[in-house]
Amino acid sequence: MPSLRRTRKKLQKQVIRWTIWLGITFIFVLGMFSGFSWVERQVRNLNLPRTIAEVNGAAISRQQYEQELMRVSQFASQRLSPMDWAFYKEQVFNNLVDAELIRQEAYRRRINVTRADINKRIDEILQFQLSSLKGQYERDKDFRDLVREKYGSLDAMVGDLRSQMSKQRKQIEQEILEEKLRQSVESEIKVTEDDLIARYTKFKVRHIFISSDRFLPKVKSPSEQDRKQAREKALQKAKELQERILKGEDFAKVAEKESDNAVTKTKGGDLGELSSDSLKWLIGEDAPFVLAKMKPGEISEPIEGFNGYHIVKLEGKRVELPKDYNKVRYRCEEKKCGNIWLGEKGEKKCPKCGSEKIKQIGERKKDLMDELRQQRFQENWTKLLRDLRQNAKIEIYDQELKAIATSREGKTDEAIRYYREALRIFNENPDARNHFIYPDVIHYQLSRLYMGQGKLKEAEREIRKALEYSDDNDLHMQLGSILMLQGKKEAALKQFLKVSNSNPTPSQRFALANYFDQLGQKEMAKKQRKLAEKESGSGGFSIPLTVR
């Protein structure tokens, strides 16, 4: 008999797969009603590239991009604001890039999806769908009557559904390809008991943090090149400090003088006792592996962290295993009992019914190793995607996506130019909205870029233009914040009052409360917080689509 843990994991995987199948089923059922007309739309009479980008030479078509944006708009539980669209456009593009990189990596590993694989998956989806449809009827006769009325026969219904599913072969192929790549990555992971013990090792450490930010030029939007040079200078500084300590300087005194961690520098860099997971968060991903090889008293090489480099002194380490580490799992075979429990090795009786018909079905140590293996897999998968991104050659041809990418790199003037070009395309083509080119979204993005440059008048101008196209609460909030920065408090208050009277979301009410506080309107702030807390706890609150 399989262990309870294995059974639970198997069921979890089935639930995940069923969820994916339901999503695919929803998409093709939606297509049955819409005729997939949006898939067939072509870019006509517009100065828009049919290929929005190339990833290592492989094209991502505008049709793919627009299909995904259409799905976002159809699945959204509420109308998307300009801020939502600004976020989702970037997210959809990144997802398409990741899907292409996964496809390329799978083929590099000689992972293929056969026609038989796809047909098998379609059969599984159809069987699951038929079971779900049957489950909606109390009597089998009612289901058969429906099938006879709409399709004539069950075979005709299955044939029709199979035909619809065949239109989703590419999506199914991509899903299977990613599953096989995940299996390939998982097969490379080896976990030993020594690895497990290392996970439960506590490290007593001090550190000196050298932030890259201290070497950035004093400009509002540093470029990617600026950040790269700052990181190189931080590494060089960390090496210099390490050399000074190795020559005899006191670690704690150097930390007090040189560390960029304001909290720990006053304590000589003391971080206390940390687990491996905590080391990853506070120092860097490589920290547990580096410290595991060190002896107390030793000083590490600079360890790369999230935003700089750390020099670490190991002062001690100890192993703290879970109390149930050596326990085993038993199941009582007595039919009336079936008790499952963790106990010591060699137990003879069920603690619940006293029966000697018991069976060992697992070990806690093995459960912990499985958890560590899953954690390592997630880390390796995330690292693989990150490395594929960093090493990819991505050429972007769509003006709006170019603007998003260059703004991320700190090239603000270049991003503004690309957004202006996207606006020109909109102004010259009435059909541009059908291709998800929204002027309110573009003006909102321009306003954000000008704010980053400290050009508040230009930022105000752009957000007012966005409001000409969309009377949106988030845009009024943005305008209010710009007016506050310019010292126009009365005008800002009018914008915030307009939002407060326009059925804002709980998250918007919390933001309004903060703005009202800054404007000295304490009663208004109190009222908005009270309403936000009430709406958040009433069950009517949903996570806002807008990501700031």
* Domain end residue (candidates: 161, 187, 213): 187
Token readout for 242 is: 């390490």
Token readout for 240 is: 């210099």
* Same domain (yes/no): 9, 147: yes
* Same domain (yes/no): 162, 16: yes
**Where in the sequence is the domain holding 333, given as residue range(s)?**
328-391
* Domain end residue (candidates: 367, 391, 415): 391
Q: What residue ranges in 448-489 does DSSP mark as E strands?
A: none
Which pLDDT score is estimated for 157? 87
Instruction: Output the domain CATH number for residue 211.
Output: 3.10.50.40
* Euclidean distance between CA atoms 52 and 151, whole angstroms: 41
pTM of the model: 0.73
In this structure, the number of other CB atoms found within 10 A of the CB of residue 529 comes to 18
Domain-embedded: residue 547: no
* Same domain (yes/no): 385, 465: no
Domain-embedded: residue 256: yes
Token readout for 279 is: 């080391």
* Same domain (yes/no): 310, 453: no
DSSP code string of 186-245: HHT----HHHHHHHTEEEEEEEEEEEGGGGS-SSSS--HHHHHHHHHHHHHHHHHHHHHH
* Same domain (yes/no): 284, 378: no
Domain-embedded: residue 195: no
* Domain end residue (candidates: 274, 295, 319): 319
Instruction: Output the domain CATH number for residue 483.
Output: 1.25.40.10
Which residues lie below 8 Å from residue 34, measured CB to CB, with a gap of 6+? Answer: none
In this structure, the number of other CB atoms found within 10 A of the CB of residue 502 comes to 12
Task: Give the chain's length.
Answer: 548
Which pLDDT score is estimated for 41? 42
Closest CA to 439 of 415, 419, 456: 419
* Same domain (yes/no): 361, 244: no
* Same domain (yes/no): 385, 432: no
* Same domain (yes/no): 208, 143: no
What are φ and ψ of residue 60, in 5° steps?
-110, 115
Which residues lie below 8 Å from residue 533, measured CB to CB, with a gap of 6+? Answer: 506
Which pLDDT score is estimated for 432? 87
* Same domain (yes/no): 249, 210: yes
- Amino acid identity for residue 104 in this structure: Q
Instruction: Output the domain CATH number for residue 121.
Output: 1.10.4030.10
Q: What residue ranges in 221-307 does DSSP mark as E strands?
A: 270-274, 303-304
Domain-embedded: residue 456: yes
* Same domain (yes/no): 138, 228: no
Domain-embedded: residue 183: yes
Domain-embedded: residue 217: yes
Q: Are 172 and 119 in contact (CB under 8 A)?
A: no
End-to-end CA distance of the chain: give it in Å, rounded.
Answer: 50
DSSP state of 523: H
The count of domains in the chain is 4
Token readout for 271 is: 């971080």
* Same domain (yes/no): 497, 410: yes
* Same domain (yes/no): 224, 297: yes
Domain-embedded: residue 544: no
Domain-embedded: residue 548: no
In tens digits, the chain (548 residues) has pLDDT values of 344 444 444 444 444 444 444 444 444 334 433 433 433 344 555 668 899 999 999 999 999 999 899 988 887 766 788 888 888 999 999 999 999 999 999 999 999 999 999 999 999 988 888 888 888 888 888 888 888 888 888 888 888 888 888 888 888 999 999 999 999 999 999 999 988 998 899 999 999 999 999 999 886 667 778 889 999 999 999 999 999 999 999 999 999 999 999 999 999 999 999 999 899 999 998 999 899 999 999 999 999 998 999 999 999 999 999 999 999 999 999 989 999 999 999 999 999 999 999 999 999 999 999 999 999 999 999 999 999 999 999 999 999 999 999 998 888 999 999 999 999 999 888 788 889 999 999 999 999 999 989 999 999 999 999 999 999 999 999 999 999 999 999 999 999 999 999 989 999 999 999 999 999 999 999 999 999 998 876 443 333 333 22
